[in-house]
Amino acid sequence: METGIVNPARTLDATGISGLSKIHYNLNEAGLMQAAVARGEGEIGNGGTFLCSTGKHTGRSPKDKFVVQDPSVLDQVWWENNSPMSPEHFATLHADMLEHMKGREYFVEDLYGGADPEYRLNVRLITELAWHGLFIRHLLRRPEIAELESFVEDFTIINCPSFKADPARHGCRSETVIAISFEKKLVLIADTSYAGENKKSVFSILNYLLPEKGVMPMHCSANHAKDDPDDVAVFFGLSGTGKTTLSADPGRVLIGDDEHGWSDNGTFNFEGGCYAKTISLNPEAEPEIYATTTKFATVIENMVYDPNTKVLDFEDDSLTANMRCAYPLHYISNASETSLGGIPKNIIMLTCDAYGVLPPIARLTPAQAMYHFLSGFTSKVAGTEKGVTEPQPTFSTCFGAPFMPRRPEVYGALLRDKIAEFGSECWLVNTGWTGGAYGTGSRMPIRATRALLTAALDGSLGKAEFRRDPHFGFEVPVAVPGVDATLLDPRATWADGAAYDAQATRLVEMFAKNFDQYVAHVGEDVIAAAPKAA
């Protein structure tokens, strides 16, 4: 049995997938929610939201992600960062998954990855969970109904949580697997119900394809000034650094919250929605995001709620600290209708420093920007990945190493060239700890971060007095209206200045050790921009 709208030349049967009991093509939000509830995948919450749990996987499984060693990509993929899978193992995995799918009900969504038609990717998601279809309809971009009748996919994702991989048979690490074949244009996902794997697979594909077209794929949020789409700011940062929150500035227009491209045309969102963390979500500090948690078809993932009233508990992290909501971009009142903007005027690199060393904001030269982009220093925060229960300092190349199929120098060179060509201003912003390291200090006040960012984006911060940081060499403002001057000098926030100096020295040494891998691939100006022990 088949329902829905689909290109008759691109049905599953026509593309080699047969024997399924039911296939639903391109159901809308109401149809997917109806199916998900009927199948026991979750329940309806207040305002018509969809409440669900992802089971044992409440975050991504990066150690179970593989790239197939197809001949055409052998010299292109960063194999030190991407676990290899042989084409033979992938073929066996594919065949076994197709056999497992027979006799079962599946949901197909045909969607776009990318707001710029010149660079967008046609993606087909095939999943056994109806709510995964709902999730990906929010997170990717929806074609018009008339477009579906001629839609031809560029890449296909098959997501089958009930299938368990066999490491010996399929060349993987565990029963969970996420495998990408760039040659077959196919992604296979098994034994995980965490919906984020779907969207990050699309991001990984675009990260591989776009550099060849001169487009910089970015793990960032982006917004632009009201009435001026050419005044764009992009925010680099991993989950938990504040990308979603800080880019949802009501005084600016939101282009998107997580994944973008920077082409000669300007900035464009890869996605059509947002995937926001909800732990301790505050209606006063983040009213727009909070409001989405009672809007129709918002996916509420891994949140504890009252079984009778369906009222959500934003503080109970007993399921996971990585509780999230997924919603379409238009649920944010200041969201861009086009998801397009001009060339980035300001580049913000967000870091969550668990050591309490970095200042709340610093101005970077182009060489320093290159250095910190390749370093990608931050802290993994609780719940973002399986097994992470407290902040862990880490270096994630280009602020998105798990999603980078190519070597980091490819992305670094793109950023360097575009900064040089367009003269973008670069800022390093610490949303982590101040007054001491994690466990002693406190989290950076979000109001101070917002005030500093506002000053950076409106140009007033550039006119402030700056001092040179003795450890990192970048410029730090001495005073900013509305911000406690003590906060701008991290050493002054510590009770023991000598302890701060020792901590800073340790962090500089960590930077130096990490950057050794890039020294042979960068210019002398970037090497000279490296932080040095005071």
What pLDDT does 400 receive?
84
What pLDDT does 366 receive?
85
200 is catalytic: yes
Secondary structure, 3-state, 301-360: ECCEECCCCCCEECCCCCCCCCCEEEEEHHHCCCECCCCEECCEEEEEEEECCCCCCCCC
Strand extents, DSSP E, 142-289: 155-160, 177-181, 186-190, 216-225, 228-236, 252-256, 259-263, 266-269, 273-277
Q: Residue 111's beta-bridge partner residues?
A: 123
219 is catalytic: yes
Phi, psi of 498 (to 5 degrees): -65, -35
Round to whole Å and give the CA distance between 179 and 189: 7
**Of residues 10, 138, 141, 200, which has the active-site annotation?**
200
244 is catalytic: yes
Mean pLDDT of the chain: 94
525 contact partners, CB below 8 Å, separation of at least 6 = 366, 367
521 is catalytic: no
Q: Residue 89's beta-bridge partner residues?
A: none
**Of residues 156, 221, 239, 493, which has the active-site annotation?**
239
Q: One-letter amino acid identity for 406?
A: R
What pLDDT does 401 receive?
85
Round to whole Å and give the CA distance between 195 and 183: 24
Round to whole Å and give the CA distance between 178 and 156: 13
Give every residue of the chain whose pLDDT is below 50, as ranges: none
**Of residues 244, 298, 431, 449, which has the active-site annotation?**
244
What pLDDT does 534 receive?
61
The two tokens of residue 237 are: 């940062």
How many residues are recorded in the chain? 534
Round to whole Å and give the CA distance between 246 and 288: 12
What pLDDT does 331 receive?
95
389 is catalytic: no
**Of residues 10, 24, 57, 60, which has the active-site annotation?**
60
**Of residues 65, 170, 224, 243, which has the active-site annotation?**
243
Helix, strand and coil in the chain, % to nearest 5: 35, 25, 40
The two tokens of residue 175 are: 């029963």
**Of residues 64, 257, 258, 353, which has the active-site annotation?**
258
**Of residues 219, 277, 345, 491, which has the active-site annotation?**
219
258 is catalytic: yes
60 is catalytic: yes
Round to whole Å and give the CA distance between 156 and 12: 11
443 is catalytic: no
Q: Report DSSP letters for 236-257, one per residue.
A: E--TTSSHHHHH--TTEEEEES
What pLDDT does 393 receive?
75
Q: What is the pTM of this model?
A: 0.90
